[in-house]
Structure 1
Amino acid sequence: MPEPRLRESARGDKQSTASGPVRFPIRILTVGTAPTGPNSRGGMAAVTQLLIEDNDPRFHIRSVSTYVDDSLPVWLWTGISGMLKASALLLAGVVDVLHVHFSLRGSVVRKSLPLFVARMLGIPTIIHCHSSHFFTWFDGLPAPLRRAVRAALRADYVVLLGESHMVASSARLGFEVSKARLLYNPVVMPRDAPPPRTRRPLSAVSLGRLGTNKGSYDLVRAIGLLPNDIRADLRITLAGDGEVDQVREFVRAEALDDTIDVVGWVGPADRDRLLAESAIFVLPSYSEGLPMSVLEAMANGVVPVTTPVGAIPEVVTDGVNGLLVKPGEPAQLAAALQALIVDTKLRDRLAAAAYARAGKFDVARWRDALHDVWLAAASQPRTVSPRWPFAGFRRSDAAILRRP
């Protein structure tokens, strides 16, 4: 088969892929949660932060935020202005690939306009699902709204956090499995393997949005089930936003203030300090995608005690690199914690295996896999829909939008 001819471009290097010619740098527009900051927290924010820090010269990455965790006026303004800005950039002809990140409810609505504009222009699209709650939410919608969501999220590629989401997503959104790409969340690995934790009492930590879904109350109950002498050898910190005051009050009601410290949300520096000090990480969630916090704990040599939900079992193997317990079972959780507190050899073995496993999710590997998806999308032939709704729009009219 003859090699495809490369189109001339003033934008730089040219390269052929298996699908077709690609011009560099490829201009990527990512749309989603704002990067990590005081008003942007959690896994999606961390992924956005890693995206904009990508310095591969083959890609020019521009990020538009459509969500911040702030007051209602700021939240609304960010969502509406982000939708419009992303759509304007697409219309201005400065985007080669649109990559949107979504979870559920308003997140889907905020991405619908940029996705629509991209499809009308023939710009390749990628949707990236970050929430396991999406499926439950989707199934609870009336049939007309399910059809609307399915239409809004039509894309050339679908990025999922775990194999467990493949069939579920395909059945609901109606895309071919061949369009799906598996991309586990990434983690930044420390330069050196962390040393075993030997300080007594042992430190444990739970990171994430406090509340019922994350198993925060189950964790408090589990601590209360530990024998007094075992509990005396443990100090655990619960850090995160959400139901901070309610969880703190529950700890007081259970008279566990001497063991459990509820500190609320912490920034990256304090998070890293907590992980460096802790021997055990606990996240007894009822539903998850693939929590960044689990990977961060494992990368720091902290033994994860968590639940087999979402893509977690694809990362944590019970008794090999962590311990898995059923959601909503404080007694099981207490037994797992007690085993780690009393058995130093078990704890050290699982910690070493957790660190080794986390290396498979290093951010460099993640970026390589993500770049493959971007390259595949960019190499597709662009076909403009005949239902072009912006025929009167001239790209020269939006020259101001070409600025980074």
Structure 2
Amino acid sequence: MKRLQVLMLGASLEQNGGIATVEKLIIKYSSPQIEIQHINTHDEGSIAHRVIVFGKALATFFWKLLSQKIDIVHIQISEGGSIIRKAICCVIAFIFDKPVLMHTHGAEFPLTYAKLPQGVQQVLSKLFQRCQGFIALSESWQDYYVLNLGLNPKQVIVLPNPCELPTEIPDRKNQTQISLVFCGRVGQRKGTFDLIKAFANLPDHQRKCTRLIIAGDGEIEKAQQLAANLNLADQVTFLGWINSEKRDEILSQANVFILPSYNEGLPLAILEAMGWSLPIIATPVGGIPELVISNQNGLLVTPGNIQQLSSAMELLIGNEDLRLSLGITARKNVEPLDIRNYSIRLEDIYYSLSQFN
């Protein structure tokens, strides 16, 4: 089997968020037969900084296509400006007659796409239809892209995000202090404010034996002010953005993971929590309901329904047997998504697309 040269275009590997995490996992666990070179097309910062980063990325992309034998161009795409940036990268790859694997992540891609002029939508659809492969994170996302972008169903590959599974799971029996954990960008889309309000609605006796930990960047000051207004300042801990080591430490000590989002792709945070054998409280948006099944490995609540969210929290805080059984099933359900299995599948995809080169 010949060695493949893959160019991956996507967010900076130093950036916070799930896309960078997936990129790093793919690179870390790629086999010796796959050489992946990463080109940073986006970084956080001012508009001028982002333009400079993308300009350098295009120059590097051109140079590598001119000077090296590249077999696959693997493009990570999100929402917003990412759609236009990656469309430009797509055109360049097609000029050099390289197979393109588009890898979609954006939870709000449909919102961005719907706002674009019809002519732009048609151009983007034509570009995406020319891609040799198109990765969607779930079957529901696959249906969206086929229906709205006119993709061939055979072109779209359902490949949920991967995760690194811990080898040892802590014993969580007979714990009197319960830890509820949220990991993600603090703000409205992820339901952080709903979570704080729902926590405030818990019965006093439960709230006194429970702590809510919120890890992530974003609108932290606004969330802290809300917690203070609800007299929760001593019971809600804000960690800001945390690295993978701190994340694993927090999840190992947690009892329940909560992510009450309004829009999602397939959040890596949920996969990581399931890997730590945690029951999940989440919303049935994006690819989540294909992974989180109510009363099997977690509980699903309606986005924005604070009473439902409070009730789900109250149920799991008060029922240790249910917490543990849901968590055990969560771990079993996520094992097929271990990065080692994912890497084998992605390698097969690379080789199947390389025939177009």
Aligned to 2:79: 104
Q: Is the 8 A contact 2:79 2:107 kept in 1?
A: no
Aligned to 2:306: 330
Q: For 1:149-168, what aligned pairs fall within 5 Å after superposition?
A: 149-153=124-128, 154-168=130-144
Q: For 1:1-400, what aligned pairs fall within 5 Å after superposition?
A: 15=1, 24-35=2-13, 37=14, 40-153=15-128, 154-196=130-172, 198-380=174-356, 382=357
SS at match of 1:89: helix
Instruction: Give me the whole-angstrom Cα distance separating, in 2, the residues matched to 1:110 and 1:146.
Output: 14
Equivalent position amino acid for 2:183 in 1 = L
Runs of 5+ consecutive residues of structure 1 not aligned to the other structure? 1-14, 16-23, 383-404
Q: Is the 8 A contact 1:32 1:65 kept in 2?
A: yes
TM-score (norm 2): 0.96
Q: Is the 8 A contact 1:135 1:169 kept in 2?
A: no
| Residues matched between the structures, number | 356
Aligned to 1:392: none
Alpha-carbon distance, 1:270 to partner: 1.4
SS at match of 2:223: helix
Q: Is the 8 A contact 2:29 2:340 kept in 1?
A: no
Runs of 5+ consecutive residues of structure 2 not aligned to the other structure? none
Query: Between Structure 1 and Structure 2, whose CA radius of gyration is higher?
Result: 1
Identity percentage of aligned residues? 29
Q: Is the 8 A contact 2:173 2:320 kept in 1?
A: no
Equivalent position amino acid for 2:220 in 1 = V
TM-score (norm 1): 0.85
Per-residue CA distance 1:42-76 (angstroms, 9 max, x = gap): 11010111122134121111110111223444332
Equivalent position amino acid for 1:144 in 2 = G
SS at match of 2:154: helix
Alpha-carbon distance, 1:197 to partner: 5.2
Q: Is the 8 A contact 2:169 2:252 kept in 1?
A: no
Q: Is the 8 A contact 1:87 1:114 kept in 2?
A: no
Q: Is the 8 A contact 1:34 1:48 kept in 2?
A: no
Aligned to 1:395: none
Aligned to 1:3: none
Instruction: Give me the whole-angstrom Cα distance separating, in 1, the residues matched to 2:106 and 2:251.
Output: 24
Q: Is the 8 A contact 1:197 1:279 kept in 2?
A: no
Equivalent position amino acid for 1:316 in 2 = V
Instruction: Give me the whole-angstrom Cα distance separating, in 2, the residues matched to 1:50 and 1:78.
Output: 22
> 1:134–1:184: structure 2 CA closer, same or farther, 3 Å change rule?
same
Alpha-carbon distance, 1:338 to partner: 0.6
SS at match of 1:168: helix
SS at match of 1:177: coil
Q: Is the 8 A contact 1:193 1:355 kept in 2?
A: no
Q: Is the 8 A contact 1:197 1:277 kept in 2?
A: no
